[in-house]
Chains A and B, each alone.
Chain A
Amino acid sequence: MAASLYYSFTDYQIAGDPTFVGGRNYANLFNGVDPFFYKSIFVTLYYVILSVPLQMITAFILALILNRKIKGRAFFRVVFYLPTIMPVIASSMVWIWMFDPDLGLLNEALRTLHLPTSNWIYSSSSVIPTLVFMSLWTVGGTMIIFLAALNDIPKQYYEAIEIDGGGRLQRLWHITIPLASPSIFFNTIMSVIGGLQVFVQPYAMTAGGPNDASLFYVFYLYREAFTFGNMGNASAIAWVLFIVTMILTYVIFKTSQKWVYYEGGEA
């Protein structure tokens, strides 16, 4: 880590030796000499802001439903979890094809239903929403953690609120959500970190395009280091990511004390 801090202040080509250049790498990032820096931050944040809430809500609703005693519960759990087992590189292959504007299954279905089609990952305006949609496909892992949390909520609480005449919504708002808040907290952090790390999709599906519209931060970092061989610059990019992640984790932990409820005061 310390070595990379030094490298981030050097001009270091992958085949050569590092030469000290002071803060130039950072300056180039922040003053816009490297136009991809802000672009990749924008892309990554856009993805995180869109995907994290949607993933949380979808996973939570699924968990609420599958926590009830309904028929085929075990079957649905496995089916919803299955997509997370598949290697991302393999699922990317299927999705690339499904998203194909001319030959893909999705547009085929839309045409049959006489609905407007989309260019999915092949247009700069729809590529991120499409990848968010694809991320919802693997929401099963988050769902399982929610299920475990819901299962741990003592039944007495529900009986108490029933006696007090609380309805379904009150039950959800005053008991289920507060008592499941540690798992919501955990899943949110995991999903934010996951969002900051998206790599295979831009690498294998879009090559960061079209028009850099899916230039995710880690893909940008990888490209700088291993395609262009600018190790010094890449170290600076990595350090920015490190600091952002630290700040983000710190903020989430701090604010969590206000809304995360730990039963029995354990922290």
Chain B
Amino acid sequence: MRLTDVVVYLFLLLGAATCLLPFVWLIRSSFMSLSQIFVIPPEWIPSPFVWDNYILPFKELSFGRYFLNTSWVLVGTMVGVLTSSTIAAYSFARMRWIGRDKMFGLIMTSMMLPFAVTLIPTFIAWQSLGLVNTYVPLVLPAFFGGGAFNIFLLRQFFKTIPKELDEAVFVDGGSHFTIFAKVILPLSRSAVLVIGIFTFLGTWNDFLGPLVYLNDELKFTLALGLSQFRGMYNAEWGLLMAASVIVTIPAILVFAIGQKYFMEGIALTGIKG
């Protein structure tokens, strides 16, 4: 028993080290000048700390602007997803209408469809509307349904809320809107929060969408900017690492804040497979 414990811990520590190593390497290199970076054997703590790598992406390149661009897309998408997925999930969980279950099945099937499959037709559609190179194709779809996965998660959650509460509202003369706003939403705060975090990370990390729809450099998101940056400063590892840190920090922050709900949320989606 003792020996297996030791083996298990060694395994875990090795795994944890593998997971953390790229992060450590990323951070330490971002504070180094090129000459410090290539010292052999590698140094793990920069001395002295070099801040220049963090200044240049903002000064020479439009990282500040990319940051704002990404924020716009993010706010739009979040508002769209949170309003439309909660409303759609409510109607699937609480209202009766013809074809409801078929419709739900259809939406679930669409969840299995890789994004790449619909990439070309949606691109052609946006192009014919003359909306390529705007943020519309990135943001507007969020307002129509807000993603099959989110609807599924919220519907499962809404279904766990006792129906008696609805009946009480109806008796008091309330409508579906009253139930939705006064009963369901306040009771589902954690599930909505999980959707919010998922959406944040998904939008923040999205690469293919902005790559396809945004051509104008001034409209780039951070992820695109980083990729572009690589082409310009190919071997300037310190700079590239600092830029990567800038792109990563918001995602890590959001994860840290919502960590507890986040882990539960992932678990919740997995259970009913």
Contacts and interface: CB of A to CB of B under 8 A. Distances in A.
Contact of A93 (B117, B120, B121, B240): B240
B271 A76 contact: no
A101 interface: no
A87 interface: yes
A55 B136 CA distance: 36
B120 A231 contact: yes
B237 to A, nearest CB: 6
A1 B118 contact: yes
Interface string B1-39: 000010011011001101111110110000000000010
Interface stretch (B61-69, B76-84, B262-270): B262-270
Nearest to B240: A93
Given A78-B259, A93-B230, A144-B270, A83 B19 contact: yes
Nearest to A148: B267
B188 interface: no
B133 to A, nearest CB: 13
Interface in B206-246: 207-208, 211-212, 223, 226-227, 230, 237, 240-241, 243-245
A152 B271 contact: yes
B125 interface: yes
Contact of A144 (B8, B240, B266): B266
Nearest to B244: A90
A79 B22 CA distance: 12
Interface centre among B124, B268, B269 (most CB of A within 10 A): B124
B124 A7 contact: yes
A149 interface: yes
Nearest to A144: B266
A98 B41 contact: no
Contacts of A20: none
Interface string B102-126: 0000000000111111111101110
Contacts, number: 184
Nearest to B270: A145
B114 A197 contact: yes
B148 interface: no
Contacts of A80: 15-16, 19
Given A86-B23, A108-B41, A148-B271, 20 more contacts: A3-B125, A7-B121, A7-B124, A65-B12, A77-B263, A81-B263, A82-B19, A82-B20, A82-B252, A82-B255, A85-B252, A91-B22, A93-B244, A94-B22, A95-B22, A103-B38, A182-B272, A197-B116, A221-B116, A245-B113
Interface of B: 5, 8-9, 11-12, 15-16, 18-23, 25-26, 38, 40-42, 112-121, 123-125, 201, 204-205, 207-208, 211-212, 223, 226-227, 230, 237, 240-241, 243-245, 247-248, 251-252, 255, 259, 263, 266-273
5 contacts: A85-B255, A189-B112, A197-B114, A199-B208, A203-B207
